[in-house]
Amino acid sequence: MRLQIGVRLFEGAGPFLMGVVNVTPDSFSDGGRYLDPAAAVARAERLLAEGADLLDLGGESTRPGAPEVPEAEEIRRVVPVVQALRARGVGAPISVDTRKPAVARAALDAGADLVNDVAGLSAPGMVELVAERDAPAVLMHMRGTPADMQRHTGYRDVVEEVVAELSAALARAVARGVRPERVILDPGLGFAKTAGQTAELLANLPRLAALGRPLLVGPSRKSFLGALAGVPVEERLPATLAAVTAAVLGGAVFVRVHDVAPARQAALVAAALRDARRP
């Protein structure tokens, strides 16, 4: 894989660590901790010091049942953090985690480099924006919206259907001018999926990698880990590390995590094992 994101050329199989900064009052695991721009900036700098390869800034929680945040409010949360990081000389690639083209546009204008869209570039105008800016983008699989997605878990074969739906979303984006080389695909762990379906996807990542684009996987602290390991959200780091290991062994190039330093250890061990495999 070769993908230029901002000033950095990402080459090879990774793993590359995307560090999460939620500038929200209500994210499922860290809501309210980094809503203040200064706290978000400090968090971002800490994640970079821990070895994050890129940052993912989000101004809207997408946890199951989350209400939609008005566009202006989301811009007010995210843009000052992008601006402050750039003003402080942070050159690392910055991703904006949003479903809204106006938020993505404002963040790109402020110095962000990548659009991370849990809605798969489905909002009117989003694909056009990504095409116009030739922005790298994460195209994630979901059905419905965060508010109602857990009512859309009726799959016959979750792996086959996620592959088909991601492939269709990629084709739609490409038909509207997005260069396929700029796209990263994401199975959307926990988005319109039960815990069992999420585990099935994580166990079958090579089927998604066959779509020919790098994969990003975001297992961090999610409820499927709670279901599998029987632990509350604040105790899911060990379960997260198991999932990061599985993701890298399954071919994930990017992993999206809150706890960068420990995830980096797990990812490096998993990558060494992946690369030591015999044909």
Active site residues: 222, 256
Rounded Cα–Cα distance for residues 202 and 226 (Å) = 15
Could you tell me how far CA 120 lies from the centroid of its own chain? 11
Tokens 């709670």 belong to residue: 226
The footprint of ligand HH2 on residues 88-117 (CB under 6 A) is: 97, 116
CB of 157 to ligand HH2, least distance (A): 21
Reference 106, options 145, 71, 60, 70; nearest CA is 71
* Residue 92 or 117 having the CB closest to ligand HH2: 117
Q: Pick the closer one to ligand HH2 by CB: 118 or 192.
A: 118
Q: Residues with Cβ < 8 Å from 144, sequence gap 6 or more?
A: 151, 152, 192
Which of 48, 118 has the CB closer to ligand HH2? Answer: 118
Other CB atoms within a 10 A radius of the CB of residue 13 amount to 14
- Whole-number Å distance between alpha carbons of 270 and 240: 13
Residue located via tokens 């940052």:
55
For ligand HH2, the closer CB: 256 or 264: 256
Per-residue x/- marks for ligand HH2, 114-133, CB under 6 A? --x-x---------------
Report, in Å, the least distance between residue 137 CB and ligand HH2.
Answer: 10
CB of 139 to ligand HH2, least distance (A): 9
> Could you give the CA distance from residue 240 to residue 98 in angstroms, rounded to a whole number?
23
Question: How is residue 175 written in tokens?
Answer: 């038909």
Q: Does 85 bind ligand HH2 (CB under 6 A)?
A: no
CB of 138 to ligand HH2, least distance (A): 5
Pick one of 15, 17, 22, 94: the residue that binds ligand HH2 (CB under 6 A): 22
185 beta partners: 139, 215
Measuring CA to CA, which residue among 217, 40, 208 is closest to residue 138?
217
Least separation in angstroms between residue 28's CB and ligand HH2 is: 4
Please pick, from the candidates 5, 142, 166, 189, the single residue that binds ligand HH2 as defined by CB under 6 A.
189
Per the CB < 8 A criterion, the answer to whether 62 and 20 are in contact is no
Q: Does 63 bind ligand HH2 (CB under 6 A)?
A: yes
| Residues 210-249 interacting with ligand HH2 (rule: CB under 6 A) | 216, 218
- Site residues for ligand HH2 per CB under 6 A: 20, 22, 24, 27-29, 58, 61-63, 97, 116, 118, 138, 140, 186, 188-189, 216, 218, 256
